[in-house]
Chains A and B, each alone.
Chain A
Amino acid sequence: MPNVVTANRLLDGIVVYLAADGSWTEDIGCARLAETEEETKALEAEAARAVAERLVVAVYPMAVALHDGAVDPLSVRERIRAAHRTTLTKDWYDVPL
Chain B
Amino acid sequence: MYRYDEFDHAFVHERVAQFREQVERRLLGKLTEDEFRPLRLRNGLYLQLHAYMLRIAIPYGVLSPRQLRQLAMIGRRWDRGYGHFTTRQNLQFNWVKLVDVPDILSALAEVEMHCIQTSGNCVRNVTADPFAGAANDEIEDPRPWCEILRQWSTLHPEFSWLPRKFKIAISGAVEDRAAIAFHDIGLKIVRGPDGKNGFRVFVGGGMGRTPYVGQEIRPFLAKEHLLSYIESILRVYNLHGRRDNLNKARIKILVNQLGIDKFREDVEADWEQTRKDAIDLPEDERRRIMSYFAPPDLPPRPIRDEGLDQRRITDPVFANWLKHNVRPHQVPGYVSVVISLKEPGRTPGDASSDQMDFAADLAERYSRNEARVNYTQNLILPHVARSDLVSVYEELKAEGLATGNYDLLGDMICCPGLDYCNLANARSIPIAKEIAKRFEDPARQELIGPLRLNMSGCINACGHHHSGNIGILGVDKKGTELYQISLGGSPKDDAAVGTIIGPGFRAEAVPQAIDTIISTYLANRNDGEDFLATWRRVGAAPFKEALYGAA
Contact = CB atoms under 8 A, between A and B. Distances in A.
A97 B511 contact: yes
Contact of B429 (A12, A75, A86, A96): A86
Contacts of B48: 13
Interface range on chain B (Cβ under 8 Å from partner) = 20 to 34
B29 A81 contact: no
Contacts of A49: none
B49 A77 contact: yes
Select the residue from B50, B52, B511 with max chain A CB neighbours within 10 A.
Answer: B50
Secondary structure of the B side of the interface?
mixed
B485 interface: no
A81 B50 contact: yes
Interface stretch (A17-25, A34-42, A64-72, A87-95): A87-95
Interface in B96-135: 96-99
A13 B434 contact: no
Interface string A7-30: 010111111000000000000000
A95 B511 CA distance: 13
A84 to B, nearest CB: 6
Interface string B495-521: 000000000001110010000000000
Contacts of B419: 80, 86-87
Contacts of A85: 50
B50 A15 contact: yes
B52 A13 contact: yes
Interface string A23-63: 00000000000000000000000000001001001100000
A85 B433 CA distance: 16
Contacts of A12: 51-52, 97-99
A76 interface: yes
B347 A87 contact: yes
Contacts of A58: 33, 47
B418 A80 contact: yes
B329 interface: no
B440 interface: no
Secondary structure of the A side of the interface?
loop
B508 A54 contact: no
B27 interface: yes
B482 to A, nearest CB: 11
Given A10-B98, A87-B347, A87-B429, A80 B481 contact: no
Contacts of B200: none
Interface range on chain A (Cβ under 8 Å from partner) = 20 to 34
A13 B97 CA distance: 7
Contacts of A74: 479
A66 to B, nearest CB: 18
B51 A87 contact: no
Select the residue from B433, B508, B511 with max chain A CB neighbours within 10 A.
Answer: B508
Nearest to A57: B33
B516 to A, nearest CB: 16
A95 B508 contact: yes
Contacts of A14: 50-51
Given A75-B479, A87-B347, A89-B433, A11 B50 contact: no
Contact of A76 (B51, B52, B99, B427): B427
Contacts of B96: 13
Given A10-B98, A86-B420, A93 B50 contact: no
Interface string B327-366: 0000000000000000000010000000000000000000
A97 B51 contact: no
A80 B420 CA distance: 9
Select the residue from B26, B47, B424, B430 with max chain A CB neighbours within 10 A.
Answer: B430
A77 B481 CA distance: 10
Contact of B508 (A75, A81, A96): A96
A75 B481 CA distance: 10
Given A57-B47, A94-B508, A11 B99 contact: yes
A61 B196 CA distance: 63
Closest 6 CB pairs of A and B: A86-B419, A13-B51, A12-B97, A13-B52, A89-B430, A95-B508
5 contacts: A13-B98, A85-B50, A87-B430, A89-B434, A93-B508
Given A58-B33, A81-B49, A93-B508, 13 more contacts: A8-B47, A11-B99, A13-B48, A58-B47, A75-B479, A76-B479, A80-B49, A80-B50, A80-B427, A86-B50, A86-B420, A87-B430, A89-B434
